[in-house]
Amino acid sequence: MADKFDYDVLIIGSGPGGYVAAIRAAQLGLKTACAESRETLGGTCLNVGCIPSKAMLHASELYEEAHSGALEKFGVKVTGTKLDLPQMLSEKEKAVGELTGGIEYLFKKNKVDWLKGHASFTDAHSVKIGDKSYTAREIVIATGSSVTPLPGVEIDNAGGVIVDSTGALSLPKVPKHLVVIGGGVIGLELGSVWRRLGAKVTVVEFLDQILPGMDGDVRKEAAKLFKKQGFDIRTGTKVTGAKATKTKATLTVEPAKGGDAETIEADCVLVSIGRIPNTENLGLDAIGLETNARGQIEIDGEFRTSVDGVRAIGDVVPGPMLAHKAEDEGIAVAEWIAGQVGIINHDVIPSVVYTMPEIASVGLTTEEAKERGHEVKVGKFPMMANSRAKTNRDTDGFVKVVADAQSDRVLGVHIIASLAGTMIAQAAQAMEFGATSEDIAYTCHAHPTHAEALKESAMAVQGKPIHI
């Protein structure tokens, strides 16, 4: 079917977008290859991102529960608890190996060719990998993103003093004082890991609140909960420089709005101020493909770039840099290439912060809804009033439903709860089908479950929750 080309589809990058696109394309009968320069498949997410960070979050939660005495109220008395960090890191690597190996198996099962090495364009239908050239009818750029550098702060993951998210997943020992530069998702997650394991954690955020882009109520409540857990959160603060020795780092900071500078000393500094698209060294100039001001590749509704035969998905294109967004785009782009209709609703992409409690959102925040001209009705229900949260003693947080006041259509859902990441799926599905708050309110939910809080928050939109 490839005709004069080596492949029907060649995907550059095997992260969540790339490997999913490759498998789906192969399932649709297209001769498919995927170029990947890492030793393992799965991209940042599986190797040094989503997966290892969740393994460390889970392990550190278990350690803190046992070590802090939190289990004693349930009649579980644990004495002599101690941390075996090498074992914890080993278990993380085991999970990563199982999942990256699983993708390699799926490539073989679906007859996807793994072209090992860095791919760069020589023309719109050709790439060079090492000393070999490959051609394809369609080429999909799915190269993901990398950590945004901070001027004046040099990353040295091997040294373990000033690190990025990759280095923070493999610290050889628990730092006494960890400073996290950036109060976003990744910084708060990895800060949570090391705080639970015994580090003092200071978060330095340039903006006046943590978790930029999230609903205002969520940002305020999250800051309160993190401070309660022991985080030292310094908002409205700018880092102007960093110096590191083999064992210590000294940061220079000042108020974001101007003021006197001061220094902060730490055993470890985590730079986590965002991510930038990976478009360097792809040979985009060879095909005349330019990026926008943010370094992203602009696409149309079928993921086509301005160059015929070249498409792009995931972190390199506009939109949230989320693995599941890339996966859905991977399926959709493969279906478009196969002559089908690829479907993805970019208005209903959930996001999750995997701290404890978890924080999850989908759709518009209250602020965004008002900015877009909606008159809104809001329903909130505290987890304190949820029976299952009460029995489990995990009552922090709330569920918030934002609905259009005229149509009652749900515009957004925002959750802080121990199971928020799982709970948000129901909200996303409801919104995908155009649900009203009344639709959710009159849907029977099992009792006792955390999910009942979503039902009650939907009832609260109409001013009629039962348990508050």
CA atoms within 13 A on the CB side of 33: 23
Q: CA-CA distance, 201 to 107, in Å (whole number)? A: 41
Residue 464 contacts by C-beta under 8 Å, 6 or more apart in sequence? none
Q: Is residue 213 annotated as involved in ligand binding?
A: no
Please give the full DSSP string across 204-268, using - where no structure is assigned. Answer: E-SSSSSSTTS-HHHHHHHHHHHHHHT-EEE-SEEEEEEEE-SS-EEEEEEETTS---EEEEESE
Q: Is residue 214 annotated as involved in ligand binding?
A: no
Q: Is residue 285 annotated as involved in ligand binding?
A: no
SS3 434: coil
Q: Is residue 374 annotated as involved in ligand binding?
A: no
Q: Is residue 11 annotated as involved in ligand binding?
A: no
In 5-53, which ranges are E strands?
Answer: 7-12, 32-36
Structural contact between residues 27 and 43, judged by C-beta atoms closer than 8 angstroms:
no
Q: Is residue 368 annotated as involved in ligand binding?
A: no
Indicate the burial class of 448 (C-beta count within 10 angstroms; 0-12, 13-18, 19 or more): middle
Choosing from 118, 346, 414, 447, the catalytic residue is 447
Q: Is residue 141 annotated as involved in ligand binding?
A: no
Q: Is residue 184 annotated as involved in ligand binding?
A: yes
Q: Is residue 274 annotated as involved in ligand binding?
A: yes
Q: Torsions phi, psi of 25, nearest 5?
A: -60, -45
Q: Is residue 322 annotated as involved in ligand binding?
A: yes
Q: Give whole-number Cα distances, 226 to 83, 164, 187, 402, 457, in Å.
A: 23, 21, 12, 24, 24
Residue 456 contacts by C-beta under 8 Å, 6 or more apart in sequence? 381, 385, 386, 399, 465, 466, 467, 468
Please indicate whether residue 346 is annotated as part of the active site: no
Amino acid 368 reads E
Written as six digits, the tokens of 305 are 């770039």
Q: Is residue 321 annotated as involved in ligand binding?
A: yes
Q: Which of 330, 452, 337, 342 is nearest to 391 (CA)?
A: 452
Q: Is residue 205 annotated as involved in ligand binding?
A: yes
Q: Is residue 67 annotated as involved in ligand binding?
A: no
Indicate the burial class of 252 (C-beta count within 10 angstroms; 0-12, 13-18, 19 or more): middle
Written as six digits, the tokens of 402 are 């934002």
Annotated binding residues for NAD(+), written as ranges, equal 182-189, 205, 274
- Active-site residues, by number, are 447
State the binding site for FAD: 54, 143-145, 315, 321-324
Which residues are annotated binding-site positions? 54, 143-145, 182-189, 205, 274, 315, 321-324
